[in-house]
Amino acid sequence: MAELGLCSRREADDWIAKGWVRVNGEVAVMGLQVARDARIEVDPQARGQQSRQVTILLNKPIGYVSGQAEDGHQPAVVLVQERNHWKGDAGNLRFAPQQLRGLAPAGRLDIDSTGLLVLTQDGRIARQLIGEDSGMEKEYLVRVSYGSVLTDAQSAFPTAQLARLRHGLSLDGQALKPAQVEWQNPEQLRFVLTEGKKRQIRRMCELVGLKVVGLKRVRIGRVVLGQLPVGQWRYLAANERF
């Protein structure tokens, strides 16, 4: 069911337990082996439950972790409160406490970084963004310095090293996928990645002698951070697609 994009694995377990799934006309039971050509039908109640799930876009501030609380730092989800709901949100959804149930980050953004973080109740969106086969683009603006050069890193940074950032580096013993990397101004690079290793951009920069001074994620797929203020959030609109 997850492979067909119907739901997440967790949702599938829940739906099967509730008797909402039929395979070839028979109510499915947990652990049932299903052939690839089997006919899978889902009860409308499951679709109704799914339609009520929310996806939230947060402009994460520095100092918050993406997932579980660690080392005394709070998880970003604590910011999802009515008082932090962006007044510029054009949608018609209203905040309700049940929207926090099962709300989880679809991807990471480290504690020292800011920008777009997606939190969702929808397993389909989580799979789209962080599934094993996901190649979703993520765009970052990265302020850097180069050795003792603080104000015009671009002029001092060798072109050959910029080429290595685009393709040629390895982390954790694995070659990185090609990335789009270009100068936006003398102190800032634009990165577009299709993978998400832990602290990837910071580690890539270290390998070529750059120091990251500031890092902000501004886009995931077709969804952009836009004018969303730091520390505030909005709902993913019904017409938005990653």
Residue 117: burial class (beta carbons within 10 Å; 0-12, 13-18, 19+) = buried
Residue 166: burial class (beta carbons within 10 Å; 0-12, 13-18, 19+) = middle
Catalytic residue selected from 37, 89, 110, 172: 110
Encode the chain in three state secondary structure. CCCCCCCCHHHHHHHHHCCCEEECCEECCCCCCCCCCCCEEECHHHHHHHHCCCEEEEEECCCCECCCCECCECEHHHHCCHHHECCCCCCCCCCCHHHHCCCEECCCCCCCCEEEEEEECCHHHHHHHHCCCCCCCEEEEEEEEECCECCCHHHHCCHHHHHHHHCCCEECCEECCCCEEEEEECCEEEEEECCCCCCHHHHHHHHCCEEEEEEEEEEECCEECCCCCCCCEEECCCCCCC
CA dist 74 and 65 (Å) reads 6
**14 catalytic per annotation:** no
Point out which residues pair with 55 in neighbouring strands: 120
**Which residues are marked as active site?**
110
